[in-house]
Amino acid sequence: RIASPSHSFFLSFRRPAVSSFAVAWTRSTSRHPTKSRTRRPFAFRASSTVASEEIQKVPKKFKPYPFQYHDVLTVTVESLTNLGFGIARVPIKENDNTILQPEAAATTSTTDEDSTEQKKWVVFIPNVIPGETCRIRIYRNHATYSDADLIQVLTPSEDRIEPKCGLANVCGGCQYQHVKIERQRAIKTQQVQELFERIGGLKRDEFPKVLETLGTEHVFGYRSKITPHYEAPIKKKDKDSGNSLKSYEIGPIGFKEKASRRLVDVPYCHIATPAINTALEQIRNEKRMEAIEERLKKPSKGATLLLRDAEGVVETNHTEYVDTIVNGLTFRFQAGNFFQNNPYMLPKMVDLVVSAATAPSPKGEPMTHLIDCYCGSGLFALGSSSFFDVCVGIEVNAKAVEEAKGNAALNGIENCDFVSASAEAIFQSQDPVRVGLVGNAGGEGGCDDNNRKTLLVKDFPRDNTVVVVDPPRKGCSPEFLEQLDQYRPARVVYMSCDPATQARDASFLVGHGYKIMSVQPFDLFPQTRHIECLAVFDRVIN
């Protein structure tokens, strides 16, 4: 990193192949004597500091439209994608497909007169903030957009800060370390608002203003699980002869680069907990020794390590059980199984699920039954159990269901049962759930050997039932939503790790007689693009 006297930011380049360039390529208005280009009015000129072999390395698959490899442009960043990349729009000529004078192109405003012959080509850039003007270098053209590296920020945003991690501009794990935390959260709030409007197709009066993204002060050192990768060890080469030696070495152990599948070596991950980082150093050393001593199994496509911090103890074996406490309840689960990864944010998330679930229905009816779809090891069902007569969780992973049942027993909770099934079948299921009952929740069911009531989920009183959903990124399937619509619970409390699919599903629910009561994003993963979001829906049409 070089700090310029003008305080503009020079950022380290994304790929090692270009890391030695200062500003290696720039477009010249004078023609290069040996290269003539028919379609393009400019020729390229290399900086004298760059070896000519290096600058001719154009990837074989590079498509030269609309930019040439390593074209340098000056652009102003308009917004961010939900993957955390900046979006700039560069005017290109519609007819002959040539780009306009690149250094000026993106900052030149398009007049009405020339708008007919120009179109704006989208370019994605990492490590930028909306409003910044930057110099960027193109490295890939797709059918409808291009990818660029950031060379220099010419007008830095007042929200730009120095990333804590020296790898932040390269490693694909974090997207926003260069952004003040308040702005990161404002970006997340705005993205959720836009997703509900754009993907959900919802008008502003169909949902309340998205609430400000909630976070904690633990903006680094919070992540309780990481899964770094490594590739198969390779034979060391003799430096002089280039011949393979007998000993092996291992390549990077870390995460994928931004917008590439290459691995970055990550000796310390700033968003992971201190305990994980201590263990990471040890496990990296072990892997290197195993490679050198040829004890390391050679995965054909690479392998993934697990580091799970549960209450300060780091487990690396997927099948070992770990214990974590959330709001006074102990959750025991296999280290490799799903469990929310931010122990600082988690109690607040559970509290908000509980308070959304327990509020009386619009008709003033109390909520007595809770169905936790996609329940994992029982977090929301067990966390809500003391407020409900009956709670039932449904989960497709049989191991997680076993854990959820075990967690109910571990915490002495009797009014919860868990079903090992796809959430798509829960309201049709003829398999009874067995619960020790609280209050008047028994209804018509019978009693089994353990003196527990047996009930069918489809018989739960829909006016007093809340359905919690927390699906994977792809959201709820159409089959799930159809059966939910047929059952029509009084309330749906929807936790999501992808607000885009949540917005799509919100549109379905609004179209089927539900009203969005609140939309609350969480900053579960500060410094990254990820957004967790809780939306609450009340049935307003029977």
Ligand X SMILES: C[S@@+](CC[C@H](N)C(=O)[O-])C[C@H]1O[C@@H](n2cnc3c(N)ncnc32)[C@H](O)[C@@H]1O
Interacting residue ranges for ligand X, rule: CB under 6 A: 338-340, 374-376, 379-380, 394-397, 400, 422-424, 470-472, 497
In whole angstroms, the minimum distance from the beta carbon of 465 to ligand X comes to 18
Nearer to ligand X, 420 or 518 (CB): 420
Task: Please tell me the total number of residues recorded for the chain in this structure.
Answer: 542
In whole angstroms, the minimum distance from the beta carbon of 512 to ligand X comes to 20
Nearer to ligand X, 292 or 421 (CB): 421
Strand, coil or helix: 28:
strand
Helix and strand numbers, DSSP H then E, in the chain: 9, 30
Enumerate the β-bridge partners of residue 134.
75, 153
- Cα–Cα distance for residue pair 344/180, rounded to 1 Å: 20
- Cα–Cα distance for residue pair 287/492, rounded to 1 Å: 46
Q: Which residues contact 107 (CB under 8 A, 6 or more apart)?
A: 74, 75, 76, 133
In whole angstroms, the minimum distance from the beta carbon of 510 to ligand X comes to 23
Nearer to ligand X, 72 or 476 (CB): 476
In whole angstroms, the minimum distance from the beta carbon of 331 to ligand X comes to 8
Phi, psi of 456 (to 5 degrees): -105, 135
CA distances from residue 28 to 19, 51, 141 in whole angstroms, order as listed: 22, 18, 21
Sheet containing 433-435, strands listed edge to edge, beginning at the edge strand earlier in sequence: 433-435, 453-455, 446-447
In whole angstroms, the minimum distance from the beta carbon of 294 to ligand X comes to 37
- Cα–Cα distance for residue pair 358/143, rounded to 1 Å: 49
In whole angstroms, the minimum distance from the beta carbon of 218 to ligand X comes to 19
Nearer to ligand X, 26 or 342 (CB): 342
In whole angstroms, the minimum distance from the beta carbon of 373 to ligand X comes to 6
- Cα–Cα distance for residue pair 244/296, rounded to 1 Å: 18
223 near 276, Cβ under 8 Å?
A: yes
Nearer to ligand X, 211 or 421 (CB): 421
Quick one: residue 148, left, alpha or beta (phi over 0 = left, psi -120 to 50 = alpha)?
A: beta
Q: Which residues contact 2 (CB under 8 A, 6 or more apart)?
A: 10
State both tokens at 40: 């393009």
- 470 known member of a binding site: yes
Nearer to ligand X, 394 or 408 (CB): 394
Q: Which residue is nearest to ligand X (CB)?
A: 376
Which residue stretches of 84-177 are H helix?
A: 102-105
For helices 478-487 and 499-511, the axis angle rounded to 10 degrees is: 40
Nearer to ligand X, 74 or 384 (CB): 384
- Cα–Cα distance for residue pair 340/307, rounded to 1 Å: 14
- 395 known member of a binding site: yes
Nearer to ligand X, 367 or 468 (CB): 468
State both tokens at 355: 């308070």
**Catalytic one among 134, 373, 497, 533?**
497
**3-state DSSP helix/strand/coil percent for the chain, to nearest 5?**
20, 30, 50
Is 497 catalytic? The answer is yes
Q: Which residues contact 349 (CB under 8 A, 6 or more apart)?
A: 340, 495, 522, 524, 532, 534
Residue labelled with tokens 């400000």: 212
Nearer to ligand X, 75 or 497 (CB): 497
Among 60, 58, 89, 61, which residue's Cα sits nearest to residue 71? 58
State both tokens at 506: 């919100």
In whole angstroms, the minimum distance from the beta carbon of 494 to ligand X comes to 11
- 514 known member of a binding site: no
Q: What's the Rg (C-alpha) of the chain? A: 27
CA distances from residue 540 to 166, 307, 461 in whole angstroms, order as listed: 52, 45, 16
In whole angstroms, the minimum distance from the beta carbon of 193 to ligand X comes to 23
- 265 known member of a binding site: no
| Residue set of the binding site | 340, 374, 395, 470
Active site residue ranges: 497
| Residue set of the binding site for S-adenosyl-L-methionine | 340, 374, 395, 470
